[in-house]
Amino acid sequence: MAPIPDNEVIPLMSGLRLEMYEALEDNVSYYELSLLLTKHADALIAQNGVISQARSAAEKILQDRERKRALSILLHTIPRTLLKSIIVGTVAHDFLNNQNDPPRPVHYSGEGGGTYVAAMCIAGRNGSFLNAIEIQELVDALRKYCVGYRFQKVHGASPITPQHKAYDQWARGVDSAFGSRPSKAADALWIANDDALKRVELLILSFTQRLHPSRHHGKSKTLYHRQGPLMVGCSKLLKVRMKQHDPFDPSHLSLTTYTWALTLCLIKAELHLTPQVVVKPVTHIWDNQHLGASEVLVTALASSYCFQDGFNVIGAGGQSGSVDVDTLLASKRYVFVTHQFFEDNARATLDELQARHQFVEDVTACAEFPSKQLSNDLRELQVSIQSLSIEVDNVIDLAQKAEDISNALSDDLATLHKQIRTLKKLKRLYRILLRKPGALEEEDDDDDDVGTQSSDEVFLDN
């Protein structure tokens, strides 16, 4: 089993994220990892009341088979090193770490359409994020910003109390950290309504998860987290869209997600640190139907919803692709011919499935052995009993015939004995008749059965 990363610098390794990490590290293929995607669907459905389009994103996962397995195919196009960085949440560290340990992940280019992952870190820290002390400061600042929104909701755009004025002035300073906030804005820039407030509160909760007592003591309080929150997006033109999440882009964060923008602004305005952004392509699409599917997939792998450990506030997969045919064909060649990521990953999964199939056959045979063997033995025993029954019937018939023959022989033997006795009597009579007068009677050896009587006496007696 893969060793769990150091929780002092990679604090959020539990639950589904840990399961994905172990599924990736303990297997050569992506098969086990693909089975875990349905758990993300369950998590999305549970948050459907807070995250808009969450159920739609969940359905894309659950209906992947009916959708020609777009998620499974796209998963196998992701380079393994990049996939690990996304799952663990160390994207910025893995790309910016000067020590090259682990090796820098490989990734696709920004040409064409597809899905990307965005990570934030602090400049000068080799890709690391904040430490526990700084995260607590960030949480406090986020809560303060939420209070400011509530004041504005009650009192409107014109603050009427000193406290309200202080919050309003502070919030405007945060909003304009990387650009000019509209001077006539009626609301706080990064929280526009109560729905946005709920999602920022979920973001606060995700940051507080990093402050577990086991990671918030001694020197661990000052260790910079290598694991940072992520955001995932998709676009028909990656290289243009990815730049818009950088606070130093001319768009001044006006085209990015408000949770992402608010966090960057607070890091600069309240923590007085300079944030740094790393945005990398994860998938390329060769079919316009895959744009939304790829965003659903990568968002799940990155655990990047605000109720998890990220900045995404709506269910992924809402965008439909409109990439031109030539670009799609170029992306298809790029993914399947130029690179071997898909071929290598798919081959590993096929090999594992074949091995599992053989294993299932072996186990099935083993499971069937006792009952199957007993069934065969019983069948053979039944045949033997039937044969033996026939033999017993034959023996009984023969015995009856033998008894009949024996009885018949006994009757014949009795008749013969009777005839012999009659003949003996006739013999004696014959001797008497032929004997001369006064002559002595000769011994008759055949008269053993008449005792000491003379033959005449025996004859006369009879």
pLDDT tens per residue across span 350-368: 998 888 777 676 667 677 6
User: Is 113:287 a contact under the CB 8 Å cutoff?
Assistant: no
CA torsion sign for 73, 74, 79, 80 is negative
Half-sphere exposure at residue 187, Cβ-oriented, CA atoms within 13 angstroms: 13
Mean pLDDT value across residues 305-330:
91
Stated length of the chain: 462
Q: Is 15 left (phi over 0), alpha (psi -120 to 50) or beta?
A: left
Tens digit of each residue's pLDDT (9 = 90 or more) over 260-297: 999 999 999 999 999 999 999 999 999 999 999 999 99
Per-residue pLDDT at 390: 83
Picking from 118, 45, 306, the residue whose alpha carbon sits closest to that of residue 199 is: 306
Tens digit of each residue's pLDDT (9 = 90 or more) over 95-129: 998 776 667 899 999 999 999 999 999 999 999 99
State yes or no: pLDDT of 429 exceeds 90.
Answer: no
State yes or no: pLDDT of 26 exceeds 80.
Answer: yes
Bridge partners of residue 310, in order along the sequence = 230
Confidence label for 460 from pLDDT (cuts 50, 70 and 90): very low
Alpha helices in 276-340 (DSSP H): 290-302, 325-333
What is the layout of strands, in order, in the sheet containing 275-284? 230-235, 114-122, 275-284
Instruction: Concatenate the DSSP letters of all residues of 117-182 into one string.
Output: EEEEEETTSTT----HHHHHHHHHHHHHHHHHHHHHHHHTTS--SHHHHHHHHHHHHHHTTTSPPP
Q: In the chain, pLDDT over 70 holds for what percent of residues?
A: 85
Name the 3-class secondary structure at 289. coil
pTM confidence score: 0.77
